Structures are given as structure tokens and as C-alpha cells.
Amino acid sequence: MSESTLPRHVAIIMDGNGRWAKQRLLPRAAGHKAGVEAVRQVIKACVEKKIEILTLFAFSSENWRRPVQEVNYLMDLFVSALEHEAKKLHEQNIKLSFIGDRSRFTEKLRHYMLDAERLTADNTGLIVVIAVNYGGQWDICEAMRQLAVEIEEGRLTSQQLSPQHIEDRLTTAHLPPPDLFIRTSGEQRISNFLLWQLAYSELYFTNVFWPDFGAEELEKALAFYTNRERRFGYTSDQLKV
Ligand code: IPE
Ligand code: IPE
Ligand code: MG
């Protein structure tokens, strides 16, 4: 597969940890733990493939609705993953960043997130964006809030407002939009992930549960992507000239 036909930016909804565990008569927590290993494998595969950006949906703004024990387990898992992995990612020249509302996290988790971002800020390899307490509607709403302030303060008029103004204020403003979107576990929905940014992404769904997703499964998704014709509103003939 030539590099030019590979996506620059891959965004994944890592779904199916709970069902993976249930299938094995294990507690849901075991599925989340196994999911961390899948994250490691996929990051490694993306580095090898020279993908530029990998965005991972780790916790949605709706996932707080889960039983408190599960939420607590996930928060502890984030802390320990950051504690153990940040340095290793840094050694691989990976740049780590987080999108989502951090205000609901513990001081400790916020500290680890900021530390990891600072440590890897100048790295030039794969960019890994982790979406935690993220919601696509929240992201757009925050952008609109900023714009409202700019209009209130007279720095912008409502007449000037364009899609670019919104895009520039999203949490992903510094990144190109995802070329390839992947969701595991057979669900075919966006679940409030990158609503704006997925406007022209190729959508790939697989029945594989997240803990079973690795280099081989990523390869299948990349092959699917390579076979798509991205038209962005043009006709197929227009793209051939
Ligand atoms: C994805 O797996 C992980 C998170 C949402 C944190 P799930 O926990 O949603 O697994 P299923 O969908 O219940 O199988
Ligand atoms: C989406 O998965 C969120 C993450 C993977 C972090 P969910 O399992 O929460 O989505 P729904 O509830 O099935 O739509
Ligand atoms: Mg799920």
C-alpha cells in the first residue's frame, strides 16, 4: 500500500470492551484493561504506517451515566496508563494531547494529562489525540460560546460568521479533519464523537470488539480506505481530469 493513499488522520471509537469481557465471563473492567493493550498495538501500528494523527475516543460526555464503580475504574485506568505510558510514548517521539472537558476530572488526572502534554509537546512523530469527557455537541457549543463573546465585544459581526470561524475554535482546530473513521464492535453510530470534523470522513465499521483490534484489523481498515473514492461533492469524472 503506497503511503500517498493512506489516511493522514485516523479517528477511532474504541467500542466493545464490555461485550468482549462478557463473552469470556469476565467483569467489564477486564475488557477495559484489555482495551489498553489494544491502544498500545494500534499506536505501534500507526507509527509503523507513518500515519500522522490518531484520535481515540476513550470516554464520552455521556459515559458518566455508567455505574459509578465502572466510571471510577476507567478514571483509575487513565491515571495508571498515563503514569506508565507517557514516558514510553515520549521516547518514540509521539506527541500526546487531550480533547474534552477536563473540569470534571480529579486534580491528579488533570495533572497527569498536562504533564504528558508538556513532556511530548515538541515531538514530531505520530500525534495521538485522546478524547476524554468529550462530546461533539459540547465541542461545537464551546466554539459558539467563544464566537458569541467575540460578537458581544465587537470583534466580529454576526454577518461575518462563517463555517471557518467555527472550525477554527473547535478543540481540533490545529488538525486536519479525520480521513478515516473506525468504529469497532458492530455499532454503526457516531455517539456524539467528532460531529463537525467527520463531515467528509470515510466511515469504516467492523464487528471486532476493541480488545481484539490490532495491527491486522487496522490494515483491513486502511485497505478499505484506499479503495474509496473521496469526491467532496464533485462528480467522479471531475476527479479524473
Ligand atoms: C468502550 O467499550 C469503552 C468505553 C466506552 C469507555 P464499552 O464499555 O462501551 O463496551 P460495550 O459497548 O459495553 O461492549
Ligand atoms: C462511545 O461508546 C464512547 C467511547 C467509545 C468512548 P459507547 O459505548 O459509550 O456508545 P453508545 O452508548 O453505545 O452509543
Ligand atoms: Mg459501548
Question: Is residue 17 within 6 Å of ligand 1 at its C-beta?
Answer: yes
Please identify, by atom number, the ligand 2 atom nearest to the C-alpha of residue 63.
Answer: 9
Only one residue has cell 465541542, namely: 139
Domain 3-226, CATH number (from 3.40.50.10380, 3.40.1180.10, 3.40.50.2300, 1.20.1250.20):
3.40.1180.10
Question: Is residue 58 within 6 Å of ligand 2 at its C-beta?
Answer: yes
18-35 pLDDT tens trace: 999 999 999 999 999 999
211 CB neighbour count, 10 Å cutoff: 26
Tell me the average pLDDT across 57-64.
98
Tell me the average pLDDT across 44-72.
98
Ligand 1 pocket check: which of 185, 205, 206 to mutate, most ligand atoms within 8 Å of Cβ? Answer: 185
Cell, residue 187: 455499532
pLDDT band at 1 (very low <50, low <70, confident <90, very high): very low
Cβ < 5 A residues, ion ligand 3: 15
Task: Look at residue 152 and give its three-state secondary structure.
Answer: helix
Tell me the average pLDDT across 199-228.
98
Only one residue has cell 464490555, namely: 18
**Can you give the pLDDT at residue 241?**
84
Tell me the average pLDDT across 148-163.
98
Q: What is the DSSP letter of 105?
A: S
Torsion of CA 235, 192, 105, 121, to 10 degrees: -10
Centre of ligand 1 from the C-alpha of residue 14, in Å: 7
Question: Is residue 213 within 6 Å of ligand 2 at its C-beta?
Answer: no
87-137 pLDDT tens trace: 999 999 999 999 999 999 999 999 999 999 999 999 999 999 999 999 999
pLDDT band at 4 (very low <50, low <70, confident <90, very high): low
Question: Is residue 212 within 6 Å of ligand 1 at its C-beta?
Answer: no
Give yes or no: 15 in active site.
Answer: yes
